[in-house]
Amino acid sequence: MKKFSFVLMIGVLALWGDIPSCFAQKDDVAMVMNLSGQAIYKTGKKEKQPVEIADFFYQGDRIYLGRGAKIVLIYSAGGTREELVGHGIIKVGKTGSEIEDKTVRVKKADINYLPDKAIIKMGTKYAAMPLRGETETDHKIDSDKMKILSLCDTNIRSLNPKFRWQQVEGAKKYKLRISDEEDEQIFETITEGAGFVYGKSGLYHGKDYQWTVLALAGGKAIARAEGWFSILKEAQIRQLEKTESEINVKFPGKNPERLINLALVFQEYALFDATTTILKQLSVHFPENRNIKNWTNQITCE
């Protein structure tokens, strides 16, 4: 079975820009989790540009905070969350911020709700532009007419998953087939809509599955698409739900930290469809944010 086939394009741009040299040194990376007021890059390729939510800071970066500004950073390797408030310049150190102006106040707290070094992994594992792999097939039907929306090479939690695909012009019905990793059929049905919620037994935690959908017109298949998914083990789900609950309690409501943290956690569990959903919620609040757009574009199938 071809499970979560990613093509890592080494040498391409990093997630939000060029891959910085600090990755080779295994130094820490800070991620901007929240921001109010003015924050400006004082050094580097982004000099004089405004800081955005979900930016990455690297060792040696210097950031100017305007009067009354507040910025929240997480240093991944150090496992530290920083709230920085004030008017002045901060410098990104190896495991935390260095204050160059005493008018900037910093409040630090240890974090335990993100997977170990999640942000550093974000800048290395995904720096080489992860692409969801295309499945090989010798099927003769034109696949270009049809697109999977979900489940698309992703982990999930539910034993009753929801499948979605793009409608095909001229198609009256769709045939959905689910099979196990040995290509043994588990379920097959015909539906009129461009989606289906699986409500039967036969799927199990910790198992991998393939699904195929055919667009039908006049009793004949005119388009085909397929995807892969894996259901998390029950122990993984328990740990995930505990982490998710902790994040929701710490950062309630519309706090962008809640959504960014959840996106990082979901991505670490390879819940790519769920990560996409979270990023879409985040983009509603920050529609012009380049980082969120790039992040979404690189993991979504839609």
Q: What are the tens digits of pLDDT across the range 164-194? A: 999 999 999 999 999 998 899 999 999 998 9
pLDDT at 144: 57
Mean of the per-residue pLDDT values of the chain: 84
Q: How far apart are CA 124 and CA 58, in angstroms?
A: 13
Query: pLDDT at residue 25 above 70?
Result: no
Q: Write the DSSP string, 7-73.
A: E--TTS--SSSSPPTHHHHT--EEEEEEEES-EEE-SSTTTTPBP-TT-EEETT-EEEEEEEEEEEE
When computed from its CA atoms, the radius of gyration of the chain, rounded to whole angstroms, is 22
Q: How far apart are CA 279 and CA 296, in angstroms?
A: 6
Q: Judge contact between 257 and 189, C-beta under 8 A.
A: no
Q: How far apart are CA 111 and CA 7, in angstroms?
A: 32
Q: Which of 24-38, 54-68, 223-237 shows the lowest per-residue confidence on average (mean pLDDT)?
A: 24-38
Q: What is the pLDDT of residues 276-302, one digit of tens each?
A: 999 999 999 999 999 999 888 888 877
- The dihedral built from the CA positions of residue 116, 121, 122 and 126, taken in this order, carries a sign that is negative
Q: Judge contact between 264 and 15, C-beta under 8 A.
A: no
Q: What is the mean pLDDT of residues 63-77?
A: 92
Q: What is the mean pLDDT of residues 39-65?
A: 92
pLDDT at 253: 84
pTM (predicted TM-score) = 0.83
Model confidence band, residue 112 (pLDDT cutoffs 50, 70, 90): confident
Q: What is the pLDDT of residues 202-214, one digit of tens each?
A: 999 999 999 999 9
Model confidence band, residue 219 (pLDDT cutoffs 50, 70, 90): confident
Q: What is the mean pLDDT of residues 220-239?
A: 94
Q: How far apart are CA 277 and CA 290, in angstroms?
A: 17
The residue type at 77: A
Model confidence band, residue 115 (pLDDT cutoffs 50, 70, 90): confident
Q: What is the mean pLDDT of residues 18-34?
A: 65
Does 151 sit behind a cis peptide bond, omega within 30 degrees of 0 on the bond before it? yes
Q: Which of 6-10, 22-26, 199-203, 261-265 shows the lowest per-residue confidence on average (mean pLDDT)?
A: 6-10
Would you give the distance in Å from CA 183 to the centre of its chain? 29
Q: What is the mean pLDDT of residues 259-275?
A: 94
pLDDT at 175: 96
pLDDT at 124: 59
Query: pLDDT at residue 142 above 90?
Result: no
The position carrying tokens 């667009």 is: 215
Q: Which of 1-10, 66-75, 144-153, 202-211 shows the lowest per-residue confidence on average (mean pLDDT)?
A: 1-10
